[in-house]
Chain A
Amino acid sequence: MDILHNLILGFSTALTPENLFYCFAGVLLGTFIGVLPGLGPTATIAMLLPITYYLSPTASLIMLAGIYYGSQYGGSTTAILMNLPGEVSSSVTAIDGYQLARKGKAGTALAIAAIGSFIAGTFATFVIALAAMPLSDIALSFGSAEYFSLILLGIVISTTLAHGSMVRGMAMILTGMLFGLVGTDPETGMFRFTFGMIELSDGVETVAVALGIFGLSEILRNLEQNASTGAITTAKITSLMPSREDLKKSAGPIMRGSVLGAVMGVLPGGGSILSAFSSYALEKKLSRHPEQFGHGAIEGVAAPESANNAGAQTSFIPMLTLGIPPNALMALMAGALMIQGITPGPNVVYQQPELFWGLIASMWIGNAMLVILNLPLVGLWVSLLKIPYSIMLPAIVVFSTLGVYTVNNSGFDLYTLLFFGLAGYLFRRFDCEVAPFLIGFVLSGLLETHFRRALSFSSGNLDTFITHPISAGILAVAALVILLVAMPSVRKTREVAFADSED
């Protein structure tokens, strides 16, 4: 069979000592930088790029890819332990992961995150091997009309993310959307809401918003109590490894998260951002105990982590099969190939089969390495929680501050961090959850851009969203979700929401 032949070629390439070594170096470094908030895989890969000239093309791509998906593994660690999400996708993990940590179940959360990521990584590897070509057709079939509908669906779905009042959740999404529009208008080049600050002309830095509204506001909230007496968790740290019960609960979310993440990862214009919280929202909807979400539901860690990791891997598909790098990180990967004289494009798979299949095989090997590397580390991470809060608090402040600074080497981003830390603190005092804010923040620019571009293509005709079949289908799903969500909650509103559940 062809696919078998290809996989054998891939594994024989990936298992050479040289490639194994670079794979390990990549995932190790990736985990490390993933754990540190701020400095992400993009900057790390850029720093290593000139060195790859001296490596073989396969080895360099294997190492750089390892840094990327390794950092996705590491990214959940600080989100769970300290409520410090280094990027948007791990902010979803932080919602329930951090609550689990406070309940003394950080070990369970971290282990499930690692196991989920491994299963998702394995699944995504096979998806790439079996269906890279058909999936790249999906990526091509998504134009602006389709993306608009998809992002709208994402926003509709995210209203279910809030575990308190629905009204506040919606208001927070929309407020986030307003701040997401700060910057330069993509169509006319006009500055919007920059208040004369040239630093805002590229928009507000996402990492600064995420770390401010989650991490810094949490610190301020904790300072209301006598902080130094306790640790993050005053509960007894129960078990390091997940129980049978936890594994059973996580199995479904991991599967569904993997599928959702693998499919959405292929879509460059917003798909990868949507997959983590769509899978979270899906699990909440399917769960028999949706009220546990937001208060430490293990499914709320399993699903987004799996989706995130599966998506990280399938996001290679457009770059490898179409030669279109969807983001800065993939552009660096393409750059690494170009330095080697290989032009990324549809021909790579035919002209460089050992590179293509070797990379895919190395992803699975790298994922196996990561789970072996990370499970023993769980104990170490959890022991960090025993450190008194008087030491953890300055550590969290300094990590977020330095972390934000490393993203753009910009002092202005630190004022952004502060602004959103204070805003997040106020919001949380008034029982407004901050996760929906972040989702609105990252999606609004995309929503508007695709809406306006779709209308440019259709000469302003709104029919375009219905005449495109994929777009029409997605909009139908969105309408269905609104019905499903609105019906019970209207009833519930009468009973609960106006009394507003306490956090």
Chain B
Amino acid sequence: MNTNIKDMGSGVMFLVIGLAFTWNTWRHLPLTTDGAIGPGSFPLGISLIVTGFGVGLIIKAMRTAPEGLTPISWRGLTLIVLSVLVFALFIERLGVLPALLASTFLAAIAPSDSNWKTAVIVTVALTAFCIGVFIYALGLPYPVIGPWLRLT
């Protein structure tokens, strides 16, 4: 297809974001309240301009020379997303230690050419470092072992 993917991609993103905010403003937010500017005017104005930029870039994409994109590393992407998610899910329930161990390990094996041995060493070292700095030195009030793992 004779389109420029970078222009098309950014155009579509701006269009989607612009339309989403326009639609939401239109549905929920009054443009004026008691004669003064309401909560809707300012976002509506901006979201319409963003939508316009999106349309412009899409039109431009069809007129410019195609351009390639670097391939996405799906393995890396998935593991990094999991790494942050796991941390968010673990920290309040299982505690800082399990959260850090799991999250660091997932991030450490994200590169396609990572090896397990290094990943384990990095995980242990970084976890120890973070607990030392954040929990013991700075005294942040997070349980190292969370309520779900406590025996009592």
Direct contact of A and B (CB under 8 A): yes
Known contacts A174-B46, A406-B140; can you find 19 more A-B pairs with CB under 8 A?
Answer: A33-B138, A47-B139, A167-B57, A168-B57, A178-B46, A193-B21, A220-B80, A390-B114, A394-B119, A397-B107, A402-B130, A417-B84, A421-B80, A421-B84, A426-B13, A430-B6, A432-B13, A448-B42, A460-B36
Contact of B10 among A188, A390, A405, A432 (CB under 8 A): A432
B-contact 0/1 string along A169-203, CB 8 Å cutoff? 01100110110010001011010110000000000
Quote the shortest CB–CB distance from B71 to chain A (angstroms): 7
A205 at the interface (CB under 8 A from B): no
Task: Point out the residues of chain A lying under 8 angstroms from B35, CB to CB.
Answer: 460
A224–B49 touching, CB < 8 Å: no
Q: Which residue of A lies closest to B118 (CB)?
A: A390
**A243: interface (CB < 8 Å):** no
- The closest CB in chain B to the CB of A38 belongs to B134
What are 5 A-B pairs at a CB distance below 8 A?
A390-B108, A405-B87, A414-B85, A418-B81, A499-B64
Instruction: Pick the contact of B71: A224, A398, A427, A451 (CB < 8 A).
Output: A224
Residue from B42, B92, B139 within 8 A of A451 (CB atoms): B42
Answer yes or no: A216 CB below 8 A from chain B CBs.
yes
CB-CB < 8 A to B80: which residues of A?
216, 219-220, 223, 397, 421
Q: Is A401 in contact with B39, judged by CB distance below 8 angstroms?
A: no
Contact in complex: B76, A397 (CB < 8 Å): no
At the interface, yes or no: A498 with Cβ under 8 Å from chain B?
Answer: yes
Interface of A is mostly: helix
**CB-based contact B91/A405 at 8 Å:** yes
Contact check, A185 vs B114: say whether CB atoms are below 8 A apart.
Answer: no
> Residues of B contacting A21 with CB < 8 Å?
none
B30 to chain A, nearest CB (A): 8
Asked whether B56 is an interface residue with its Cβ less than 8 Å from the other chain, the reply is: yes
Q: Which of A47, A174, A402 contacts B100 (CB 8 A)?
A: A402
Does residue A301 face the partner (Cβ distance < 8 Å to B)? no
Residues of A within 8 A of B13 (CB): 426-427, 430, 432
In whole angstroms, what is the CA distance A177 to B24 when docked? 15
Q: A220-B77, A427-B10, A430-B9 are in contact. Are A171 and B53 (CB under 8 A)?
A: yes
Residue in contact with A397 in the complex, picked from B49, B103, B118, CB distance below 8 Å: B103
State which of A39, A44, A181, A226 has its C-beta within 8 Å of the C-beta of B42.
A181
Q: A401 with B42: in contact, given A167-B57, A224-B72 (CB under 8 Å)?
A: no
Q: How large is the interface on B (under 10, 10 to 19, 20 to 34, 35 or more residues)?
A: 35 or more
Q: Verify A391–B118 contact, CB threshold 8 A.
A: yes
Are B50 and A175 in contact, with the CB atoms below 8 A?
A: yes
Contact with B along A139-181 (1 / 0, CB 8 A): 0000000000000000000000000000110110011011001
- List which B26-45 residues lie within 8 A (CB) of chain A: 28-29, 33, 35-39, 42-43
> Is the CB–CB distance between B88 and A414 below 8 Å?
yes
Q: Say whether A429 faces chain B, with CB atoms less than 8 Å apart.
A: yes
Interchain Cβ contacts within 8 Å, total number = 194
The 8 Å CB contact of A431, one of B6, B14, B77, B84, is B6
Given A39-B138, A190-B39, A227 contacting B111 (CB threshold 8 A): yes
Chain B hits for A451, CB < 8 A: 37, 42
Q: Give the contacts of A444-503 with B (CB-CB under 8 A).
A: 444, 448, 451-452, 455-456, 460, 498-500
Q: Which residues of A contact B97 (CB under 8 A)?
A: none
- A411 and B72 within 8 A (CB): no
Residues in B neighbouring A427, C-beta threshold 8 A: 10, 13
Chain B residues with a Cβ under 8 A of chain A? 5-7, 9-10, 13-14, 17-18, 21, 24, 28-29, 33, 35-39, 42-43, 46-47, 49-50, 53-54, 56-57, 60, 64, 69-73, 76-77, 80-81, 83-85, 87-89, 91-92, 100, 103-105, 107-108, 110-114, 118-119, 122-123, 126, 130, 133-134, 138-140, 142
Contact B110 A224 (CB under 8 A): no
Closest residue of chain A to B76, judged by CB?
A223
| Distance of B104 from chain A, by nearest CB (Å) | 5
Q: Is the CB–CB distance between B71 and A192 below 8 Å?
A: no
**A171, B21: Cβ atoms under 8 Å?**
no
Residue of A nearest to B125 (CB): A391
Instruction: For the complex, give the distance between the alpha carbons of A486 and B36 in Å.
Output: 33
A298 to B108, CA, bound (A): 32
Given A394-B108, A395-B126, verify A190-B29 contact (CB < 8 Å). yes
In the complex, which residues of chain B have a beta carbon less than 8 angstroms from the beta carbon of A430?
A: 5-7, 9-10, 13
- For A404-416 the 0/1 string (1 means CB < 8 A from B) is 0110010100110
- Does the CB pair A411–B123 fall under 8 Å? no
Output the nearest chain A residue to B127 by Cβ-Cβ distance: A398
Q: Does A393 contact B (CB under 8 A)?
A: yes
Q: Is the CB of A171 within 8 A of B87?
A: no
The answer to whether A398 and B100 touch across the interface, beta carbons within 8 angstroms, is yes
**Chain A residue with Cβ nearest B81:** A418
Q: Is the CB of B85 within 8 A of A193?
A: no
Q: Does A371 contact B (CB under 8 A)?
A: no
Contact indicator A174/B114 (Cβ below 8 Å): no
Q: What is the CB-to-nearest-CB distance from A253 to chain B, in angstroms, rounded to a whole number?
A: 31
* Interface hub of A39, A185, A219, A223 (most chain B Cβ within 10 A): A223
Determine the chain A residues whose CB is within 8 A of the CB of B138 once the complex forms.
33, 39, 44
Is B104's CB under 8 angstroms from A390's CB?
Answer: no
Q: Report B-chain residues with C-beta under 8 Å of the C-beta of A187.
A: 33, 36, 38-39
Task: Establish whether residues B6 and A178, one from each chain, have CB atoms under 8 Å apart when the complex forms.
Answer: no
Q: How far is the CB of A176 from chain B (nearest CB, A)?
A: 10
- Would you call A368 an interface residue if the criterion is a C-beta within 8 Å of the partner chain's C-beta atoms? no
Contact check, B122 vs A390: say whether CB atoms are below 8 A apart.
Answer: yes
From B88, B110, B118, A223 is in contact (CB under 8 Å) with: B110
Closest-CB distance, B37 to chain A (whole angstroms) = 5
Instruction: List 6 A-B pairs, minimum CB-CB distance, nearest first.
Output: A223-B76, A185-B39, A430-B10, A414-B88, A394-B107, A171-B53
A36 at the interface (CB under 8 A from B): yes
A36 contacts B133, CB within 8 Å?
Answer: yes
Interfacial chain A residues near B36, Cβ < 8 Å: 187, 452, 455-456, 460
